[in-house]
């Protein structure tokens, strides 16, 4: 039988390590569960004025930096959801994110306290952007 799984090593640690503490996540040593998602089990929204930005801060309440999966409907009403909520930069745009379908783009990060999601509205009008997230962790059970 094959030896396979998912591994995410700590900074400066080798992914081939056999020491469990060298990993942020290693499917061999435990399971990861959804520990938080929107309370209504559906998407949340943020409305952003034309030519401005808006930031969502979600307190995760965990004693570590968790794994987060974010989905964003970058073009409101399109029904197209993008994992991460961000388009990769094109060679002509070195800012780190590009406008998708002329509507909105975003940048995200996670730290020891919050998930931060920044949406930039580069359109000519106000936009209500939908987003959904999963925060993963292991409660030690």
Q: Are 100 and 82 in contact (CB under 8 A)?
A: yes
The SS3 assignment for 99 reads coil
- Beta strand segments in the chain, E: 7-9, 23-26, 33-36, 44-48, 52-59, 67-73, 82-83, 104-110, 114-121, 127-137
Written as tens digits, the pLDDT of the chain (141 aa) is 456 778 877 778 888 888 877 877 777 776 677 888 888 788 999 998 888 888 889 998 888 888 888 888 877 777 878 886 444 443 343 233 334 444 555 567 888 898 888 888 877 788 888 888 888 876 444
Q: Are 48 and 104 in contact (CB under 8 A)?
A: yes
pLDDT recorded at residue 104: 55
Instruction: Residue 60: count other Cβ atoms within 10 Å of its Cβ.
Output: 20
Q: Which domains does the chain have, with CATH numbers?
A: 1-30 (no CATH), 33-137 (2.60.40)
Cα–Cα dist 84/109, whole Å:
10
Instruction: Residue 16: count other Cβ atoms within 10 Å of its Cβ.
Output: 8
State the Cα angle at 16 between 31 and 26, rounded to 5°.
5
């Amino acid at each position: 039988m094959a030896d396979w799984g998912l591994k995410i090593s700590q900074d400066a640690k080798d992914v081939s390590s056999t020491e469990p503490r060298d990993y942020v996540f290693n499917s061999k040593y435990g399971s990861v569960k959804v520990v938080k998602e929107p309370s209504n089990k559906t998407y949340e929204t943020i409305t952003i004025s034309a030519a401005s930005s808006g930031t969502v801060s979600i307190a995760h309440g965990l004693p570590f930096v968790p794994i987060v999966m974010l989905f964003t409907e970058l073009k409101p009403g399109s029904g197209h959801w993008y994992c991460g909520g961000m388009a990769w930069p094109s060679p002509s745009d070195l800012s780190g994110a590009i406008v998708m379908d002329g509507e909105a783009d975003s940048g995200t990060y996670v730290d020891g306290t919050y998930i931060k999601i920044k949406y930039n509205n580069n359109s000519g009008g106000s936009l209500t952007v939908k987003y959904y997230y999963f925060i993963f962790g292991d409660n030690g059970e």
